């Protein structure tokens, strides 16, 4: 059971370049999330999707866009990367009710030079 | 609005001793509270959660947490620490009575267990 799969694991970009982080889950979860992790700041929510076809902004959405392609996949796009977007990015999905808990991918370490 | 505070950046404890990792929260409503653990170069893993009911919640790897509504706290505890418990621990909260299920995380506490 793969759980949550994120690609790529590492990426180096130059300022102004664009890229898409891919995420897929195989647990039939409705809710999916993108977080970024920075030292001393914990995880901050970028965007989330409560169900297929819906997306909502989180705490730090500026500079990012998302697509909930189908129930399994939730991608994060950086249109014009900036050094402030250097971070570790985590995708997560969650069940509901008594099964509510986040399952995280292994992360993408992104450096923007 | 919802927020979480983890007042200690690092907690050091000797193997075999009890450990406590502190968490306080602020929500405008009833809270759902969670603890997650992150081992080096890994994603976060679920430890336990409080939704409703018994204030003492038991979770994975022998961890437990106590919900204290009057002190708005949800401290993580373990009776006897192991070296393998050394990791980064995150507390998280969301308001229970909304459709928005996105969690707000604390800044994390690094637990170091010395042999």
pLDDT of residue B32: 92
Most B CBs within 10 Å: which of A39, A40, A95, A102, as the mutation test of the B interface? Answer: A102
Under 8 Å between Cβ of B78 and B85: yes
pLDDT in tens, A16-49: 999 999 999 999 999 999 999 998 888 999 999 9
Question: Rounded to a whole number, what is the distance in angstroms from the first to the last CA of chain A?
Answer: 36
For range B66-78, the mean pLDDT? 96
pLDDT of residue A2: 76
DSSP helix/strand/coil, B61 = helix
Closest by Cβ to B101, choosing from A44, A50, A103 = A50
pLDDT of residue B28: 86
C-alpha to C-alpha distance for B68 and B49, rounded to whole angstroms: 13
């Amino acid at each position: 059971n793969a759980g949550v799969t994120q690609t790529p694991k590492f990426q180096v970009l130059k300022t102004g370049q664009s890229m898409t982080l891919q995420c897929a889950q195989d647990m039939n979860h409705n809710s999916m999330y993108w977080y970024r992790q920075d030292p001393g700041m914990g995880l901050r929510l970028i965007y989330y999707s409560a169900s297929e076809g819906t997306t909502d902004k989180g705490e730090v959405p500026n500079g990012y866009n998302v697509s909930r392609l189908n129930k399994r996949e939730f991608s994060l796009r950086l249109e014009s990367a900036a050094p402030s977007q250097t971070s570790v990015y985590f995708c997560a999905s969650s069940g509901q009710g008594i099964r509510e808990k986040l399952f995280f991918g292994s992360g993408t370490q992104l450096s923007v030079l | 609005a919802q927020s979480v505070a983890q007042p200690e950046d690092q907690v050091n404890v000797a193997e075999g001793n009890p450990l406590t990792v502190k968490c306080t929260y602020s929500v405008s409503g009833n809270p759902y509270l969670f603890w997650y653990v992150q081992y080096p170069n890994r994603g976060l893993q679920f430890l336990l959660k409080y939704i409703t009911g018994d204030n003492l919640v038991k979770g994975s790897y022998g961890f437990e947490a106590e919900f204290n509504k009057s002190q708005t706290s949800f401290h993580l505890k373990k009776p006897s620490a192991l070296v393998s418990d050394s990791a980064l621990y995150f507390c998280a909260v969301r308001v229970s009575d909304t459709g928005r299920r996105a969690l707000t995380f604390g800044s994390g506490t690094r637990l170091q267990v010395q042999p």
